[in-house]
Structure 1
Amino acid sequence: MTTTVIPPAAQAPGRPAHRDGNVLRWLGAYTASMIGDNVFYIALSWAAVQSGTPSQAGLVMAVSAVPRALLMLGGGVVADRFGPRRVVIGSDAVRCAAVLTVAALLFVASPGLWLLALLAVVFGIVDAVFMPAVGALPARVTGRDQLARVQGMRGLAVRFANVAGAPLGGLGVALGGSATAFALAGLLIAVSVPLLISVRMREPVSAVGDGASTADVVADADDTPGDPEDVPAGVDESGTPARVPDGPAATPERPAPATAWRDLRDGLRYIRGHRVLAPLIVAIALGDLGFVGPLNVGLALLADQRGWGASGMGLVVAAFGAGAGAAALLLAWRGTLPRAGSAGAAALLCGSVAIGALAYVPGVGAAVGVALAIGLLAGLSGALCGALLQTQSEPAYLGRVTAVAGIVSLGLAPLSMPLTAAAIGWWGTGPVFVASAVVCGLGGVVALGVRDLRRAELPR
């Protein structure tokens, strides 16, 4: 029997994402929500410091991470089951109501830390379903050939939200305390709801057929339609991801019931068996684990050790942000980059070298230059990895794929920060930065070492 690879179906070129009103409405909603998030955390930290000790304030700020990390896999199932748009709208509505309620209570009373901790927990629970849904939504607002550009636009929105959110939060605190800042955060999140309601959803296009970068699609030489061998594993004849029978209760006459636990296992099995997504998530995990510690707590300790001061550290952080923003702008402008898998791996490897070098630069000026390079390379690798996640995933699994990647970035990587601080106390900044760079570089090695990921391309 001879086999051939079925080429992907031709797609009619659509309107570029940056000129598509539907995409721009989604981007406006996402930006408003992200700015609201930044204002919220400024308000929460200020209120916690005013209501308790520094250690208590730290606990309030950290408590939201626990439910987010524990529940995010379930959030991916929810996003895939109920649709990402519905989940994002519901999540923003709940977050808006919770923040405005706390703002109203703070205007009339001083409830104390318990209310702030409860609000942080609610935010963490809602974020567990919000973040996977946000990751799955772009595939339903634009075509696959525009997903890389949308990823760049999303990166620009995140950078803008980070820059604008802190001053807005500080302004709210200055004008009326934490209650005013919470009210401002709630209103900004509320802006996203009508914008999201106005966004039109489109039927996502299957990722099957992207050549060696996805599951093989084979056909018999006789090209008999409907032959089971003509479709990839996990996808039925209609192109819909198929459920694998599980246990004696699953028969052709009585299929196994679709439960949330079953959906979760199907998603994990899909990722594990995918020749691009599985190594890609490993590469993302290693990159984040090696990056987060040095560029957060490690940078503060390095600045203090070298005598750069707060202004010097601010310049280094600003340079990193500028580099990351430039990478996002490049992808938003170009829409795609050739050899995305190899380019992302190379950027990750070069960025890891720059991370190790940061601990040995002679002064602030050199540190600013190295930080600019780190931001550019890390931003480029992150944007390309995110775009590959979007384009390589079957739409029916995208929420769960995003959830697994999010657990790595938002659950495991932050754990490296206290470890980095302790390790610097034992061995100093240089060895720890180098060790972190090695971990980060391993992500690039994985990406280059796996043929299908190395050859992965973005749609044109």
Structure 2
Amino acid sequence: MTAIGTLSAPAPAAQRPAHRDPNVLRWLAAYMSSMIGDNVYYIALSWAAVQSGTAAQAGVVMTVSAVPRALLMLGGGVIADRFGPRKVVIGSDAVRCAAVLAVAALLFATSPGLWLLAVLSLVFGTVDAVFMPAVGALPARVTSRDQLARVQGMRGLAIRFANVAGATLGGLCVALGGAAAAFGLAGMLIALSVPLLISVRMTDLPTDAAGGAHDMDGAGVAGASADKEHARVAADKTGAGAVQAKPAGAPAWRDLRDGLGYIRRHRVLAPLIAAIALGDLGFVGPLNVGLTLLADQRGWGASGMGWVLAGFGTGAGAAALLLTVRGRLPRAGRVAAVALLVGSVAIGALAFVSSVAAAVVVALFVGLFAGLSGALCGALLQTQTDPAYLGRVSSVSGIVSLGLAPLSMPLTAAAIGWWGTGPVFVTSAAVCGLGGVLALCVGPLRRAELTK
């Protein structure tokens, strides 16, 4: 498969730091513009849904997108690897932009009701199933392996900024021009990411040990000639096992099966994804639903909950800044495991503080250590994965974070109603801590570094 319209260049031997690399900064600007647009979109969608129906109906509209995202994300990873993450992200952003601007125009002209918002949410969720694995596969194509930790830190800072800027811009637009104006702004911000992404140079996939080369757009492993199309590719030192190269036009289900098999055989990726899953399952419930219920029980009010969330955001931002400045941390696998353990202890402690000030301090530690472990796990996922499989690996990790972990939120709310905040927070912390224990117990993951 050839890469049409793709700017490419081999990675230079001595590459400048990611935060000073114009190519990485263009990618980061595109990512940040898209994320700000996403935040404005969700504010516009929630406001329009509330104005057009009941609270329950608005909740349904907001969650419609989760179904196709969870069901189709594995297929999205296959698409990202087959056609190349940059082209998939550009195409996804173009579709999302067109859908949002079309809804904005309809809202300016008429009042179509909840059905239009539900369709938009469904389209967004379907496109997200392709968009998210491709976004996860992009960093390895725009920088060298030794800069991936710094890129993860920069990405974390971009997310924090996008959350604040998106909420501010979305609220301002809704107040001044209604949901239609907010949808219009979201579409323009998403559109801005497209020319920026087009200007980003992609690096070639590395040549494998058998002499073949990864296709520029990530379609798979190709032999040096047609005779070698089915050649075996030697296993790398991570112990993932030999991978059978696939001819062009191979069925998508075979690519999916090979991706899952690659993860299962990999001595670092398999336990790493399991550790990420445990961390997310233990983290999402308490910090989303649980914190609201805890603030209500303690009498902290909405402002108190806001301060606690600000403490968490500050800690997570500090972790991202640390990686951005340092670039990499030695013994990344061990540090990620310890950070996950410390963060889990802080999650459990959050249920036993009585004052807002103490809760803010504890939340800051939760954000710092959870943010550090999350960024390091993301960087390890990038460095340990063969770039030709990054889309599929990102899709499996994304299903855990965006498909399974949110399911814990209604369970957390119900469990707090039955047993109270203390036991539920401690149980969630134990689940989160199991991820750190797993990472420490599995030797290849514990010894994993950010460079090979």
The TM-score normalised by the length of structure 2 is: 0.90
- Please give the per-residue CA displacement for 1:64-121, whole angstroms capped at 9, x wherever unaligned: 0000000000000000000000000000000000000000000000000000000000
In structure 1, C-alpha distance between the alignment counterparts of 2:207 and 2:133, rounded to whole Å: 19
The equivalent residue for 1:145 is 146
Which of 293, 304, 316 matches 1:301?
Answer: 293
Distance 2:250 2:14 in 1: 37
The residue aligned with 1:409 is 401
In 2, Cα distance between equivalents of 1:49 and 1:261 = 40
Q: List gaps (5 residues or longer) in structure 2.
A: 1-10, 210-230
Q: Does 1:60 align with 2:52?
A: no
2:356 pairs with 1:364: yes
Which has the higher Rg, Structure 1 or Structure 2? 1
Q: Distance in 2 between matches of 1:416 and 1:206?
A: 42
Q: Kindly report which structure 2 residues correspond to 1:86-235, keeping only aligned pairs within 5 A, or say none.
A: 86-205=87-206, 231-232=234-235
**Partner of residue 340, structure 1:** 332
- Where do residues 252-291 of structure 1 align in structure 2 (5 Å cutoff)? 258-291=250-283
Looking at structure 1, the residues matched to 292 and 275 of structure 2 have their Cα atoms a distance apart, in angstroms, of 26
Q: Which runs of 5+ in 1 are unaligned?
A: 1-9, 209-227, 245-254
1:234 Cα deviation after fit: 12
SS of the equivalent of 1:365 reads: helix
Tell me what 2:30 maps to.
29
Q: Which runs of 4+ in 1 moved over 2 A?
A: 10-13, 204-208, 228-231, 239-244
Q: Which residue of 2 aligns with 1:248?
A: none
Is the 8 Å Cα contact of residues 144 and 205 (structure 1) preserved in structure 2? no
Secondary structure of the equivalent of 1:370?
helix
Map of 2:3 onto structure 1? none
The answer (yes or no) to whether the contact 1:76–1:132 under 8 Å persists in 2 is: yes
Deviation at 1:459, TM superposition (A): 1.9
Matches within 5 A, 1:236-255: 241-243=243-245
- Percent sequence identity is 79
Separation in 1, partners of 2:242, 2:76: 21
Deviations 1:238-262 (CA, angstroms, capped at 9, x unpaired): x995337xxxxxxxxxx79611000
Contact 1:345–1:448 (Cα < 8 Å) also in 2: yes
Secondary structure (helix, strand or coil) at the match of 2:445 reads helix
User: Could you report, residue by residue, the CA deviation over 1:368-414 in whole angstroms, capped at 9, with x for unpaired residues?
Assistant: 00000000000000000000000000000000000000000000000
Q: Secondary structure at the match of 1:362?
A: coil
The answer (yes or no) to whether the contact 1:139–1:204 under 8 Å persists in 2 is no
For 1:179 and 1:107, the matched residues in 2 are separated by 6
2: distance between equivalents of 1:116 and 1:257? Answer: 37
CA distance change for structure 1 residues 168 and 206 in 2, over 3 Å: closer, same or farther? farther
Q: Secondary structure of the equivalent of 1:320?
A: helix
User: Which letter maps to 1:192?
Assistant: S
Q: Indicate whether 1:15 and 2:16 are aligned.
A: yes
CA distance in 1, matches of 2:315, 2:98: 36
Q: What CA distance in whole angstroms lies between the structure 2 residues aligned with 1:272 and 1:328?
A: 29
- CA–CA distance in structure 2, aligned partners of residues 256 and 124 of structure 1: 29
- Partners of 1:207 and 1:394 in 2: CA distance: 10
Aligned 8 A contact 2:233 2:242 in 1: no
Aligned Cα RMSD in Å? 2.1
Q: Check 1:240–1:137 CA distance in 2 against 1; reply closer, same or farther (3 A cut).
A: farther
| Aligned counterparts of 2:20 and 2:314: Cα–Cα separation in 1 | 24
